[in-house]
Amino acid sequence: MPEKKEDKIPPYYEVYRLARQQEEKGYSVIHLEYGDPDIPTDPRIIDEMSLKALEGYTHYSNPLGLDELREKIAENMSLRLRTDISRDNVIVTIGSKSAIYISLRAFYQPRKSVLLISPIWGLYHTLLKEMGIDYVNYKTRMEDGWSPTDDLFDIRRSVGIIMVNNPNNPTSKVWDNKSIKTIIDFARENNAVIISDEVYHDFSRKKFYSMLSYDYDKVICLYSFSKSYSMTGFRLGYIISPNNELLSKFAKLQQLYFTNVPVFIQYAGLKALEMPWIAVENIRILWRNTDFMSRGLKKMGMSFLRPEGAFYIFMKIPEKYNNSYRFCYDLLVKENLCFAPGEGFGGYDNFVRVSASLNIEKLRLALKRLERFLGDS
Ligand SMILES: Cc1ncc(COP(=O)(O)O)c(C=O)c1O
């Protein structure tokens, strides 16, 4: 097994790299280590993008985003979250990933810690390490339903930023009102900025509580067109905040780093929002796939909590495996099936994340390969 290059490549990029190596050798690998739905982007969205580029929307533009798009986002999200959002609360971003980076740059206070509520998408850990920012890793547990508990208040360091992801990648957990309140109480105690990654909000199968629905305004929420509209390659996202000071700090850096999101891409986003049934159908497909995968994994005796939002399954690996990277490596080499090691989501070394973002045929084959692997090993 190749050594993990701990400081250079995080575990889930490493398994992806190894998977590519297998493919170069001619093996057909099933990639369930990343969350890129294999549903094609609706052609009307692509047409709109091309049309707008041909019409000449190929120049610099407002760093906050197109007024029409911000207006439409505000209207949609006001309805969805049952809260008042105006165009001025919205900034369009290059995917939501860039918003994570900009937020850290904009709100980081050197004498205060950053707090991550884990498990959380691996990028958060990797990015903080890459930026040389020391952080506190608060680990929720499957036994507590992947929710924060009052031991959060045992953290004695002064916290300036809290980063959360709800619905969660990798657990697909959707927090209830009590969990959100716990985090807000902790934020209030620390006067901290909450960066709330809600990119999977529309996948939630139960009542979704956004950080925007509470009376704490040091909040910035992240959203994306990537998953529900199957537009990962467009790199289109947005942030919403009720706080003008946070928005203006963010806007300043967005302009400095990126100028603006390409305008023809923003028009594609506007077109997508005019056809909400596309997202509804994509989400239905991804829920169905997640249920299919969950049933198959349960039959094999795997242990995990039922996904409530998003299309990931975060499951325990058999006890004889003492680390998640080892499990993923063996599975990849023996069966050409790729999962993401739990270690990368905040040190959950006895878990792996399975993404049900591919079609049922591939998922069925993946289950067969996993069953053979578990039987053999
Ligand atoms: C929790 C979470 N946030 C953000 C992103 C990034 O999405 P985008 O494509 O908008 O950058 C992902 C992508 O997998 C994600 O899982």
Residue from 34, 45, 47, 93 nearest 275 by CA: 45
**Cβ density class 27-51: b for 16+ within 10 Å, e for less:** eebbbbbbbebebebbeebeebbee
**Residue 371, domain CATH:** 3.90.1150.10
User: Which atom of ligand 1 approaches the CA of 120 most closely?
Assistant: 1
User: Which atom of ligand 1 approaches the CA of 199 most closely?
Assistant: 3
The pair of three-digit structure tokens given for residue 188, joined into one six-digit string: 């209030």
Instruction: Tell me the CA–centroid distance for residue 153 and ligand 1, in Å.
Output: 28
In a domain, 359, yes or no: yes
pTM of the model: 0.95
Q: Looking at 225, 246, 274, which one is the last position of a domain?
A: 274
Instruction: Tell me the CA–centroid distance for residue 5 and ligand 1, in Å.
Output: 24
User: Which atom of ligand 1 approaches the CA of 169 most closely?
Assistant: 1
In a domain, 49, yes or no: no
**Same domain as 265, residue 170:** yes
* Binding site membership of 169 for ligand 1 (Cβ less than 6 Å): yes
**Same domain as 183, residue 84:** yes
Domain coverage including residue 301: 11-40+278-376
Mutate to test the pocket of ligand 1, among 199, 203, 220 (most ligand atoms within 8 A of CB): 199
In a domain, 47, yes or no: no
Count CB atoms within 10 A of the CB of residue 55.
11
Q: Looking at 236, 254, 274, which one is the last position of a domain?
A: 274
Instruction: Tell me the CA–centroid distance for residue 55 and ligand 1, in Å.
Output: 30
Instruction: Tell me the CA–centroid distance for residue 221 and ligand 1, in Å.
Output: 13
Contacts of 301 (CB under 8 A, 6+ apart): none
* Binding site membership of 345 for ligand 1 (Cβ less than 6 Å): no
**What is the model's pLDDT at position 4?**
54
**Same domain as 24, residue 123:** no
137, 113 Cβ separation under 8 angstroms = no
* Binding site membership of 119 for ligand 1 (Cβ less than 6 Å): no
Mutate to test the pocket of ligand 1, among 121, 165, 232 (most ligand atoms within 8 A of CB): 121
Percent of the chain at pLDDT above 70?
Answer: 97
**Residue 222, domain CATH:** 3.40.640.10
**Same domain as 165, residue 260:** yes
The pair of three-digit structure tokens given for residue 348, joined into one six-digit string: 């959950």
Taking 3-state DSSP, the helix, strand and coil percentages for the chain, each rounded to the nearest 5, stand at: 45, 15, 40
In a domain, 175, yes or no: yes
**Same domain as 299, residue 231:** no
**Same domain as 243, residue 323:** no
Instruction: Tell me the CA–centroid distance for residue 38 and ligand 1, in Å.
Output: 15
**The pLDDT of residue 107 is above 80:** yes
Q: Looking at 239, 274, 309, which one is the last position of a domain?
A: 274
End-to-end Cα, the chain, rounded Å: 16
In a domain, 2, yes or no: no
**Same domain as 284, residue 151:** no
Mutate to test the pocket of ligand 1, among 169, 196, 313, 345 (most ligand atoms within 8 A of CB): 169
Instruction: Tell me the CA–centroid distance for residue 138 and ligand 1, in Å.
Output: 21
User: Which atom of ligand 1 approaches the CA of 97 most closely?
Assistant: 11
Strand pairing partners for 197?
165, 222
Residues 111-136 have pLDDT tens digits of: 999 999 999 999 999 999 999 999 99
Instruction: Name the pLDDT band for 2 (thresholds 50, 70, 90).
Output: low
Segment 146-167 shows an average pLDDT of: 96
Strand pairing partners for 9?
none
In a domain, 48, yes or no: no
**Same domain as 261, residue 124:** yes
Residues 296-352 have pLDDT tens digits of: 999 999 999 999 999 999 999 998 887 899 999 999 999 999 999 999 999 999 999
**Same domain as 107, residue 27:** no
**Same domain as 257, residue 143:** yes
**Same domain as 294, residue 352:** yes
Rg of the chain taking only CA atoms, in angstroms: 20
Q: Is the peptide bond before 167 cis (omega within 30 degrees of 0)?
A: yes
* Binding site membership of 165 for ligand 1 (Cβ less than 6 Å): yes
Q: Give CA–CA dist 200/184, Å, rounded.
A: 20
Segment 347-374 shows an average pLDDT of: 97
User: Which atom of ligand 1 approaches the CA of 100 most closely?
Assistant: 4
Phi, psi of 115 (to 5 degrees): -115, 130
Q: How many separate domains does the chain show?
A: 2
Q: What is the DSSP string of 96-162?
A: THHHHHHHHHHH--TTSEEEEEES--HHHHHHHHHTT--EEEEEP-GGGTT---GGGGG--S-EEEE
**Same domain as 303, residue 265:** no
In a domain, 53, yes or no: no
Instruction: Name the pLDDT band for 9 (thresholds 50, 70, 90).
Output: low
In a domain, 54, yes or no: no
Instruction: Tell me the CA–centroid distance for residue 159 and ligand 1, in Å.
Output: 24
Instruction: Tell me the CA–centroid distance for residue 158 and ligand 1, in Å.
Output: 28
Q: Give CA–CA dist 349/362, Å, rounded.
A: 26
Q: Whose CA is nearest to atom 13 of ligand 1?
A: 35
Q: Provide the residue count of the chain.
A: 377
